[in-house]
């Protein structure tokens, strides 16, 4: 047999793409998990279609999953794929602009029928020529027919057989990139343990795909991506929504409180509700409400009763929760509101990512209604910021909005599992002295009031949506209202003493400071690193704490000649900074396509600013 040619690579980006029913999300997830187990650093980007039940074979129904893995630090799922696995013509059309020049396209040749070509709106029988993709390395593989042939003896119907073709593609890619099949087999046996025929058939097809790779060595070499050098510890691959849920579990344990989540399902935030609903063993109480308003109202009730109270949503749901957030502000109750941002406005692009809810989080309520606003920046640190949001809410008696987004919530990366001893303590402001307790009497340093629950003898009190005086009595005194509005704002601003100062990646002074917030971190840090390797004087200031801003923000900004704010909206954080720190000029790089930035487009914008 001809000796296999093995090419060693530092990092590779693969994109799995096909119809929603082709199992591309599962295929990509299994490949990513197998790579993480091997010790590669990874970053993933599941790309779901926005259209519900789009016609099979159409571009609108294409589902994709992109993963970048490597032997060095990986912060993004990659700009363009080195390898595209396409299950039909529509997948080729949808991804034509997202493949590296000269990249490899492996496609199911059985699906390139006249009917499927027409569904994808190709006008000829050569889609590659039609898309001017002659320079790509194309490998036709009859995946569907080989799957049917491999499962001929299993007695399955045609539909069940074709459901397994994603395992053939997975086996083939595992051969190409030297991924062992052990983990995938274990997953299949666990998932289909009660259906041995289904388990055996999927494992058979998985091996068929792997073995097919052995026979196609003349068409493509095998690739080796060595493990990354990472800190010792116990790791698991985690997506942002699960990390968020686990951050709340840790906060509940650390604070000694029961965890309550009241929410209404909404894409892409639903997985947080699902993940927490599975943890009744840890005393978690979840309530799937009939609507967004009921979800947050139940959480406010739980907070009043002494729980760590959470509600989760996405952009349209945050709008509906606005009035109730105002109630939590007025009652000065601890509450965490998670907004997994998606494309808007209105229903917008439900499965796509965006950062366009920032101004809504900051200002989207009636009256002077300040809340703390923080944002996670990677899938794994969603854990840290869910924990920190809980700590701030419980210790300062204030609602906190935690912003993530679809890219973080669905994307995944390796996460070093912390021990509880590594996490900071959380000390809820529970009232202790009934003789001196007053509902709105505040601590002189933090301005936080004490927290008394129903059933605590001697702590009976009134709070609510009407303005009160210190004792909790309804007050219509104009001076009292003025003072309380100022106190509520000042209380939020004083949270600055709980948050770290801004740290700069790169030089602490220079030509250009790149500014970002939230889920753009991976692309921004990758861009800055590449530009610095090219000799460019560029640094990064990435914000997780938005209201209040870190106390040294103005000092950091003052050390750079130019500032460019990069965000997935039309300039919301830039406008906020203009209001908070008006002494500086803010350039902008904005994108609102339902997609994350690419490193190449960020480099272009920043390089242009350097040259101006």
Q: What string of DSSP letters covers 134-169?
A: TTSEEEEE-HHHHHHHHTGGGT--HHHHHTTHHHHH
For 544-595, what is each residue's pLDDT tens digit?
Answer: 999 999 999 999 999 999 999 999 999 999 999 999 999 999 999 999 999 9
Q: How far apart are CA 287 and CA 258, in angstroms?
A: 14
Query: What pLDDT score was predicted for residue 2?
Result: 45
Which parts of the chain sit beneath pLDDT 70? Answer: 1-6, 217-221
What's the CATH number of domain 236-422, 3.40.50.880, 3.40.1190.20, 3.40.50.450, 3.40.50.970? 3.40.50.970
Q: What is the domain partition of the chain in residue ranges?
A: 6-224, 236-422, 504-611
* E strands present in 474-583: 504-505, 510-517, 538-543, 545-547, 560-567
CATH code of the domain made up of 504-611: 3.40.50.920
How far apart CA 12 and CA 82 sit, in angstroms, is 6
Note whether 146 and 187 are within 8 A (CB).
Answer: no
Tell me the whole-structure pTM to 2 decimals.
0.93
Question: Tokens for 243?
Answer: 């990390």
For the chain, how many helices (H) and strands (E)?
22, 22
Distance CA 577, CA 584 (A): 9
Region of residue 121 (left: phi > 0; alpha: psi -120 to 50; beta: else): left
Give helix 24-38 / helix 182-191 axis angle, nearest 10°: 130
Q: 608 in helix, strand or coil?
A: helix
Alpha-carbon span 460 to 465, nearest angstrom: 17
- Which residues have a Cβ under 8 Å from the Cβ of 525 and sit 6 or more positions away? 75, 505, 540, 542
pLDDT of residue 234: 87
Distance, in Å, from the CA atom of 442 to the CA atom of 450, rounded to the nearest integer, reads: 7
Can 6-224 and 504-611 be said to share one CATH topology? no
Q: Return the SS3 of 221.
A: coil
Closest CA to 462 of 486, 439, 495: 439
The H or E element containing residue 101 is strand 99-108
pLDDT at 220: 66
* CATH topology for the 6-224 domain: Pyruvate-ferredoxin Oxidoreductase; domain 3 (3.40.920)
Number of CB atoms found within 10 A of residue 200's CB:
15
CA torsion, points 206, 173, 32, 85, in degrees to nearest 10? -110
What are the tokens at 531?
């530009």
Contact 376, 404 (CB under 8 A): yes
**505 and 525 Cβ atoms separated by less than 8 Å:** yes
CA distances, 159 to each of 22, 110, 116, 207, 418 (Å)? 11, 15, 17, 20, 44
- State residue 272's pLDDT score: 98
Enclosing H/E stretch for 27:
helix 24-38
Positive or negative: CA dihedral 474, 479, 482, 485? negative
Q: What is the DSSP letter of 500?
A: P
For 434-590, list the strands marked E by DSSP: 504-505, 510-517, 538-543, 545-547, 560-567, 586-590
Place of tokens 């052990």: 182
Closest C-alpha to 107, from 136, 69, 77, 68: 136
Output the pLDDT for position 1. Answer: 42
Q: How many CB atoms lie within 10 A of CB 494?
A: 17
pLDDT at 216: 74
Helix (H, G, I), strand (E, B) or coil at 476: coil
pLDDT digits (tens, 9 = 90+) for 342-398: 999 999 999 999 999 999 999 999 999 999 999 999 999 999 999 999 999 999 999
Matching residue, tokens 């790169």? 506
At 263, is the secondary structure helix, strand, or coil? strand
Going by C-alpha positions, the residue among 513, 534, 509, 508 that lies closest to residue 609 is 513
């Amino acid at each position: 047999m001809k000796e296999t040619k093995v090419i060693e690579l530092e990092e590779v980006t693969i994109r799995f793409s096909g119809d929603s029913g082709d199992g591309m999300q599962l295929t990509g997830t299994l490949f990513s998990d197998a790579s993480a187990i091997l010790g590669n650093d990874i970053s993933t980007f599941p790309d779901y279609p926005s259209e519900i039940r789009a016609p099979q074979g159409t571009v609108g129904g294409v589902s994709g999953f992109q993963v970048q893995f490597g032997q060095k630090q990986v912060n993004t799922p990659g700009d363009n794929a080195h390898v595209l696995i396409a299950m039909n013509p529509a997948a080729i059309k949808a991804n034509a602009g997202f493949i590296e020049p000269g990249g490899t396209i492996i496609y199911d040749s059985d699906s390139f029928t006249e009917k499927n070509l027409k569904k994808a709106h190709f006008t000829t029988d050569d889609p590659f020529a039609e898309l001017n993709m002659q320079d790509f390395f194309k490998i036709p593989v009859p995946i569907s027919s080989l799957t049917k042939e491999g499962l001929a003896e299993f007695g399955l119907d045609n539909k069940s057989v074709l459901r397994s073709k994603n395992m053939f593609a997975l086996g083939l890619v595992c051969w190409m990139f030297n991924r062992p099949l052990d983990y995938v087999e274990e997953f299949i046996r666990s998932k289909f343990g009660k259906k041995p025929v289904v388990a055996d058939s999927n494992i058979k097809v998985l091996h068929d795909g792997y073995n097919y790779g052995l026979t196609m060595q003349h068409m493509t070499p095998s690739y080796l991506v060595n493990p990354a050098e990472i800190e010792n510890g116990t790791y698991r691959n985690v997506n942002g929504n699960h990390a968020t849920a686990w951050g709340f579990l840790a906060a509940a344990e650390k604070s000694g409180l029961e965890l309550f989540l009241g929410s209404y399902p909404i894409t892409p935030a639903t997985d947080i509700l699902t993940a927490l609903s599975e943890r009744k063993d840890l005393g978690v109480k979840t309530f799937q409400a009939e609507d967004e308003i009921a979800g947050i109202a139940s959480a406010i009730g739980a907070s009043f009763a002494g729980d760590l109270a959470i509600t989760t949503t996405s952009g349209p749901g945050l709008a509906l929760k606005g009035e109730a957030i105002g109630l939590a502000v007025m009652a000065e109750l601890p509450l965490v509101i998670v907004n997994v941002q998606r494309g808007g406005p209105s229903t917008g692009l439900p499965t796509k990512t965006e950062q366009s809810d920032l101004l809504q989080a900051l200002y989207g309520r009636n009256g002077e209604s300040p809340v703390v606003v923080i944002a996670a920046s990677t899938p794994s640190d969603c854990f840290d910021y869910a924990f920190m949001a809980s700590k701030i809410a419980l210790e300062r008696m204030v609602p906190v909005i935690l912003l993530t987004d679809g890219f973080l919530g669905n994307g995944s990366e390796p996460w070093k599992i912390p021990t509880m001893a590594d996490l900071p303590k959380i000390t809820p402001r529970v009232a202790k002295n009934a003789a001196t307790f007053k509902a709105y009497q505040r601590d002189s340093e933090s301005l936080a009031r004490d927290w008394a629950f129903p059933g605590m003898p001697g702590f009976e009190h009134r709070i609510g949506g009407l303005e009160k005086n210190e004792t909790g009595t309804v007050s219509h005194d104009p001076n009292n209202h003025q003072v309380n509005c100022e106190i509520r704002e000042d209380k939020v601003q004083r949270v600055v003493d709980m948050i770290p100062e801004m740290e700069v990646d790169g030089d602490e002074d220079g030509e250009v400071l790149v500014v970002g917030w939230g889920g753009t971190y991976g692309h921004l840090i990758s861009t800055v690193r590449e530009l610095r390797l090219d000799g460019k004087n560029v640094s990064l200031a990435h914000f997780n704490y938005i209201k209040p801003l870190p106390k040294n923000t103005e000092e950091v900004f003052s050390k750079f000649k130019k500032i460019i704010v990069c965000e997935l909206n039309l300039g919301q954080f830039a406008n906020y900074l203009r209001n908070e720190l008006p002494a500086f000029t803010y350039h902008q790089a904005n994108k609102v396509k339902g997609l994350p930035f690419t490193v190449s487009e960020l480099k272009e914008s920043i390089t242009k600013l350097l040259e101006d």
